[in-house]
Structure 1
Amino acid sequence: MSSHLDVGAAYCRKRRRGGERVFKFRSFGENGCPVEFDGSFRDNVKALLEYGHLESNLCNGMLSWSFQLEVHRHPPLHILLFVVEEPIEASISLYCKHCQYVGWGCHMICNKKYHFLLPSKDAVAACFSCGESNLDDPNPEKGKFNLVELQGHIMHGVFHSNGFGHLLCVNGVEMGSDLAGYQIMDFWDRLCTGLQARKVSLNDTSTKRGMELRLLHGVAYGEPWFGRWGYKFGRGCYGVNEPIYQKAIEAIQGMPLCLLNHHLSISYNDISVIFSRYQALADHSMVTLGDLFDFMLELRSRLPKENSFDSCNPAILVETSCRWSPKRVEAATRVIVEALKRAEFRWVSRQEVRDAARAYIGDTGLLDFVLKSLGNHIVGNYLVRRCLNPVTKVLEYCLEDISTVFPNPETLLLSNSKVIPSCKITKAQLMKDISFLFKHILKEQKPTLSTGIFSAIPMAARIILDTKFLVKEYSEELSMKVKSSLNGKFKLFCAVILRNDEEIDEGLKKPMLPCECVTLQETATIKDLKLEVEKNFRQVYWRLRSFAVETIVNLNAKGSDLVLGSVEMGQKIVVVGSNDDQTGMIMNEVMMCEWGLNSRIVECPCGAKEDDGERLILCDICEVWQHTRCVRIPNNEEIPHVFLCKQCEEKIMFLPSLP
């Protein structure tokens, strides 16, 4: 066991001796563990932190709390969850680049962020060292430890105080964690659901053995790995939108295996072997590339880590009610296989096979039964493949010698009533095959795949790889309905329009902020409602610290009238207010939204109109930004000191020459 883990274990033991409560990792974040989550996001975070252990010296003066989580008892494994409250005054950057890249740059800057961290072993060791340090130590550097700024955490997620968040990193077993990636994601998903987060984004750059999972799982399942937890297309880079992304998924999934095999087997003999190997293991016909990757990934999830997998696929199962005896079925099977042998491993139509077999078997019903049952199963040392020709739409059959498919194939003989092949494959061999197909079909295509129907593969793969920003909507744009509660209280969801925003003044139709949950007593008046709305929006948004409600849209009521008597169930509540004091004026000047002072004008040939986080270059004449990739500047090359976009170059070429 590493010294880092020893230090972390010692830290947890010390904390437990102090009487700190230990929570179950597998249930933490569920309702009631440790608290009933029944309020707005902000209220839920506050309720959760009441159960945490207040820390010191961990985040450069910012408030932080820790929770001990028990992963399992035997063998004992405990981890620490840290929650750090980052006020806007302590932020290194006023603006959030993650909001900007995912398309939330128009959101107002919030007063606070909350970081949720499962630290790495190195970070736990650093926490322990920091906790042991003397507060009066003359060395000032010891007081500047900041857990948030460390890299390589098991998990790091951050929420703005309005409930919008970003999952910044997940590092599973391959990165030295004691937790698998899916365990970390289950934990994060429970937290987001329990806290009632609004929307959460992530930048999907996850890989396994050098394979980008968004491409691998996109081909197999039609969605990225994070799709298991409901994360979907959020925003594409290089001008990719959702319809383009979906078409790319469909195009690459639907590539016919028979055509790929025909074209690729010339360059890679292993391609045909791999296709046949997994067709032999499958109990159904695999027609497309999506079918193959789907089967291989599902098989991987069922295989033991080191052991082999035995697949028993009955080629012909003669039921007791079958009108042909096992002996007759066996004879017909041998005749059909011999007919296919004479075809010398080429594809032949069903009718051609049937006609050849009729010279020996007169019962056409028996032949039809055997032909139907034999498809994609093993007889003797051969795999009988059946496939619908994509051009002629006719069923075709072909034999493949499985001695080239499995390293040590067992001799397979016909028994009385059924043919049972036993094919073995290890998890290591499976991963090797997946990596081979990923590399030679999806990433490094031969020139044979650059023409015709196959030219769609590199294009579709590029589009899928350019779709990195995923989003999950945890609570819908809160339905703005009055919701009853216990203890004589009710909840109301309100949206705000700022009167002193010119773009909003014209019509006062569209609220510029997400709605907020307001909790009121059943006896609350309209005046109480206005005060509560002011308090909530002041707490959430930096610019609205002096926000004042003026009117409620489409509501004719006096300040002393009861809210429940004035507001109908399901009615949308929109308030109009202002923020006219000096603080608001200053904030107007430095910008109020997450995209900050970004005055970049993006007009790229790919269609992008906003900064998507990819490398950009500025035209020195028109001062318009474009992607370096789109203007053919490789990522490994430095940006040139002088750059002219194509339009400016053309204009210069047509300028009249000076005398």
Structure 2
Amino acid sequence: MTQVNLSGFKKRKRGGRAFGFKAFCKPGYPVDFNGLFHQNINTLLELGSPETNLCSGMQSWSFQLELHRQPSVHISLFIIEEPTEASSHSHCNHCVYIFLKVIVDYSSGWGHHMICNKKFHFVVPSKETATATPASLSHEGNSRGSDATTAALKSNLIELHGHLMHGVLHMSGFGHLLCINGVEKSSELAGHEIMDLWDRICTGLRARPLYSGTRMKVSLTDIARKKSMDLKLIHGVAYGEPWFSRWGYRFGRGSFGVTQPMYQKAIQAIQGIPLCLLVHQLGSSNHEIPIILHRYQMMSSNSLFTLGHLFHFMLELKTHLPQESSMASDNTSIVLDTACRWSPKRVEMAARVIVDALRKAEHRWVSRQEVRDAARVYIGDTGLLDFVLKSLGNHIVGNYTVRRRVNPVTKVLEYCLEDISCTFPNQDNLSHIDPWGQRMKLQLMKDIFYLYKYILNEQSPAALITKIFTAIPVAARIILDTKHLIKDYGGELCPNIGENLMVLCTIWLRDNIGTNEGIMKALPPYEVIILPAYATVEDLKKEVQRFFREMYWGLRSFIVESIIGLNTKDSDLILKLVQVQSQFVVKGRIVEKGINIDEIYECGINNHIIDCLCGANEDDGERMISCDICDVWQHTRCVRIANDEDVPHVFLCSSCEHDIAHLPSLP
């Protein structure tokens, strides 16, 4: 695929507006989003810079997000509006995979959502997807270029893989996070920072009433990895939840027939494995595991009894150690604000003075004022001292951890030093070139990977003899097969309607023959309809007809006929009806001929019969193969087909094989 050139976007447009990265889409920034989703997205796009030639003629906007002011560093966020008419794939597979037939709530079945007229892509390109070509000329205002350059500009940005972030939101407010990539993609941002950006965008744009039942929901497929380790397995054992749970993403559905109770039991099974049993069973064949367990038992202030306790402590310890990008000196764990007016050298000097003052206290707790007074002998800038004292709490400086607490009696802030140079064996002669915090983090990551590999991922034959260890591969597989997560963004915010009326409406389609029999798979989610204070029933019908035509691709010729359950005249005021019922089901039909009703839903026409050995009876997005006799689809993994080379010329499911084996032989 031709690469899209975005190199010109690394620099701000001359005179263009830059938005703060960490504040983007927070409440009130860059604007207040007080409307419904489709209104809020239009409000946001008005602030962007229109772009051309990014996605085959689709409308696009760019936002310059400022990471640092000194030196000036920006990243580009692109929003691409993809009309269904211009899309190569009108149906959304992500909606299909997250859909469960067992859900009977009409507002929950994603596969039974109607196809929207538009969806919006949010893309932060990586260096690989923003390769340098002459396309930057267009961005910089230079119109010179060859026909080849123009052709290169028309590549489709949303079809490229490997972006730092790519999410899509349907016009109805439902969406999917397709990918995030952090430092391992040579990004200046960590994965959690990019995830924060996505979460702020979704939170800022959602704005649906709490009682509407049509809250904004976003799905993702959890394949996050860190240094070749699956994060959902590591975090599942440590916290009982996936890594994405810190942003509110929870179990949506599992692949290969995995259910939520199976997922919870798998996590509990691994979390509850006693460490003493691990040492007893593995200590004789693997001498490194007892050393690792003893190392962190000594460091923890609480006893570590189970594998869940151990992983929880190790990951919590990791959060208190310096990040890889800031390991330059002894005070590496002090996080400098980009607006900090002191140089790193002065901050480092102040930290050393404070640690020396605490060292003289001989491990006793010292009040903040006492530490500050002792340090002022060498550092006259009290503002600098206050900044460093605030930043040092429970962080590592050199061979010490600076502890901070509030005295339970005096309620005064106190500090104390904890010598951690003897925590690890063979860690003598610590130098400024290789600070202890960095070495400790490297050792910690090495230990986590070792436990992941030899306990969670690869069990020795000797360990598998024990019943409790035979359950680990099964439980780990269940956790890894739980990929589809969902976040419900709630609906605490209501649109600012002033003196207008707000009602909730959905539609019920009937066939064109004239009968009253419904032909719909499910009701669409209830939508908010805003009407003037003295609107009539006729006004409501017109507004519902307009709204659903603009919202859904298959309803572009939708005609409203009546309101179910109401025996009213068109001239009656809605104000009188709202007091009795604020939710309405409007009956209507599609005038346009030749429309297949199944084609207007995200799930489309799917006549595949899925009956896999794992128990799955729905498409979960995993690789499948169909039987050449009965056309039943099954997972390739479940029938032991590892790759394309192993696919047989004729595949028979186990049922058909059994039937053929019992056929009478021919004479």
Q: Do they superpose with TM above 0.5? A: yes
Shift of 1:6: 11
Structure 2 length-normalised TM: 0.76
Q: Secondary structure at the match of 1:533?
A: helix
Report the Cα offset of residue 121 of structure 1.
Answer: 3.1
Counterpart residue number, 1:182: 192
What is the aligned counterpart of 1:105 among 102, 105, 111? 111
1:128 CA displacement: 2.0
Report the AA paired with residue 116 of structure 1: F
1:67 paired residue number? 63
The reply to whether residue 469 of structure 1 matches residue 478 of structure 2 is no
Counterpart residue number, 1:160: 170
CA RMSD between the two structures:
3.2
TM-fit CA distance, 1:475: 3.0
SS state at 1:274 partner: helix
Residue 336 of structure 2 corresponds to none
TM-score after normalising by structure 1: 0.77
Work out the CA distance in 2 between the residues paired with 1:619 and 1:627.
Answer: 11
Specify the code of the residue in structure 1 equivalent to 2:125: P
Counterpart AA for 1:68: Q
8 A contact 1:602–1:609 mirrored in 2? yes
Output the CA distance in 2 between the equivalents of 1:135 and 1:213. Answer: 47
Task: Give the alignment of 1:198-209 within 5 angstroms.
Answer: 198-209=216-227
Alignment pair present for 1:452 and 2:428: no
Check whether the contact 1:65–1:82 (CA below 8 A) recurs between aligned residues: yes
CA–CA distance in 2 between the matches of 1:218 and 1:129? 48
> Partner of 1:389 in structure 2?
none
Displacement after TM superposition at 1:509 (Å): 11
Secondary structure of the residue aligned to 1:461 is: helix
**Structure 2 residue 625 is matched with structure 1 residue 606:** no
- Corresponding letter in the other structure for 2:74: H
1:613–1:108 distance in 2 versus 1, CA, 3 Å: same
Q: Which runs of 5+ in 1 are unaligned?
A: 311-316, 320-401, 411-421
Aligned to 1:353: none
Question: Quick check: 2:510–2:517 contact (8 Å CA) kept in 1?
Answer: no
1:181-580 equivalent positions in 2, closer than 5 A: 181-196=191-206, 198-305=216-323, 306=327, 406-408=424-426, 426-450=440-464, 451-475=466-490, 485-500=496-511, 511-568=522-579, 571-580=582-591
Q: CA deviation at 1:8?
A: 4.4
Q: 1:505 to 1:201 in 2, by over 3 A?
A: farther
Indicate conservation of the 8 Å contact 1:543/1:587, yes or no. no
Letter in 2 for 1:439: K
Q: CA deviation at 1:428?
A: 0.1
The equivalent of 1:21 in structure 2 is 17
The one-character-per-residue Cα deviations of 1:342-398 (angstroms, maximum 9, x if unpaired) are xxxxxxxxxxxxxxxxxxxxxxxxxxxxxxxxxxxxxxxxxxxxxxxxxxxxxxxxx
Instruction: Give the SS at the match of 1:647.
Output: helix
Change (3 A) 1:277 1:593: same
Distance 1:571 1:35 in 2: 30
SS in 1 for 2:61: strand
Amino acid paired to 2:468: I
Cα distance in 1 for residues equivalent to 2:74 and 2:612? 49
Q: Equivalent residue of 2:553, what SS?
A: coil
Kindly tell me: are residues 658 and 577 of structure 1, through their superposed partners in 2, closer, same or farther at Cα, counting changes over 3 Å? Answer: same
Q: Distance in 2 between matches of 1:187 and 1:318?
A: 42
SS at match of 1:157: strand
Equivalent in the alignment of 1:114: 120
* Aligned counterpart in structure 2 of residue 638 of structure 1, from 629, 639, 646: 646
Amino acid at match of 1:24: G
**Structure 1: how far apart are the matches of 2:644 and 2:457?**
19
Aligned-residue sequence identity (percent) comes to 53
Partner of 1:322: none
Query: Which residue in the other structure is 1:144 paired with?
Result: 154
Distance 2:643 2:277 in 1: 34
Report SS of the residue matched to 1:470: strand
How far apart, CA to CA, are the structure 1 residues paired with 2:162 and 2:241? Answer: 26
Q: Deviations over 1:549-571 (max 9, x none)?
A: 22222233322222222112774
Cα pair 2:321 2:437 within 8 Å, conserved: no
| Larger CA deviation: 126-135 vs 647-656 | 126-135
Query: Structure 1 20/293 Cα, relative in aligned 2: closer, same or farther at 3 Å?
Result: same
Q: Is the 8 A contact 2:25 2:201 kept in 1?
A: yes
**What letter is aligned with 1:433?**
D
Match of 2:628 in 1: 620
Q: Is the 8 A contact 1:130 1:145 kept in 2?
A: no
Query: Is the 1:108–1:592 contact (alpha carbons within 8 Å) kept by the matching residues of 2?
Result: yes
Out of 288-297 and 629-638, give the one that drifted further. Answer: 629-638
| 1:299–1:554 Cα change, 3 Å | same
Measure the CA separation in 2 of the matches of 1:113 and 1:212: 31
State the partner residue of 1:378. none
Equivalent-residue separation in structure 1 for 2:162 and 2:520 (angstroms)? 45
Structure-2 change in CA distance of 1:136 and 1:128 (3 Å): closer
**SS of aligned partner of 1:522:** coil
User: Aligned to 1:406, what secondary structure does the other structure show?
Assistant: coil
Closer, same or farther in 2 for the Cα pair 1:80/1:509, shift >3 Å?
A: closer
Moved more, 192-201 or 126-135: 126-135
How far 1:468 moved relative to its partner?
0.7
Larger mean CA deviation between 103-112 and 60-69 belongs to 103-112
State the Cα distance separating 1:438 from its structure 2 match: 0.3
**Aligned-pair CA distance for 1:130:** 4.9
Q: Aligned partners of 1:202, 1:505: CA distance in 2, in Å? A: 39
3-state SS of paired residue (1:27): coil
Q: Distance in 2 between matches of 1:55 and 1:424?
A: 43
Question: Relative to structure 1, is the Cα distance of residues 72 and 569 closer, same or farther in structure 2, using a 3 angstrom cutoff?
Answer: farther
Task: Name the CA distance, whole Å, in 1 between partners of 2:449 and 2:38.
Answer: 45
Structure 2, unaligned stretches of length 5 or more? Answer: 100-109, 207-214, 334-354, 356-362, 366-419, 429-435
Query: Which residue of 169, 172, 188 maps to 2:182?
Result: 172
3-state SS of the aligned residue for 2:81? strand
Which of the numbers 34, 39, 51 marks the counterpart of 1:43?
Answer: 39
8 Å contact 1:236–1:468 — kept in the other structure?
yes
Question: Which structure is higher in RCO with an 8 Å CA cutoff and minimum separation 6?
Answer: 2
User: Which of 136, 144, 167 is the matching residue for 1:128?
Assistant: 136
SS at match of 2:587: strand
Partners of 2:635 and 2:542 in 1: CA distance: 48
Cα distance change, pair 452–274 in 1 and its aligned pair in 2 (3 A):
same
Shift of 1:524: 1.7
Q: Which amino acid aligns with 1:473?
A: D
Shift, 1:527, TM fit: 1.4
Q: Which has the larger radius of gyration?
A: 1
Question: Cα deviations across residues 17-59 of structure 1 (Å, max 9, x unaligned)?
Answer: 2x32221111111232222212221111111111111111111
Quick one: structure 1 residues 510 and 89, their matched pair in 2 at CA, closer, same or farther if it must change by over 3 Å? closer
Alpha carbons 1:538, 1:545 under 8 Å: kept: yes
Aligned-partner residue type, residue 277 of structure 1 = R
Structure 1, 76-85 or 128-137: larger mean CA deviation: 128-137
Q: How far off is 1:579 after superposition?
A: 1.2
Q: Write the distance in 1 (CA, Å) between the matches of 2:157 and 2:144.
A: 17
Q: Does 2:604 correspond to 1:593?
A: no
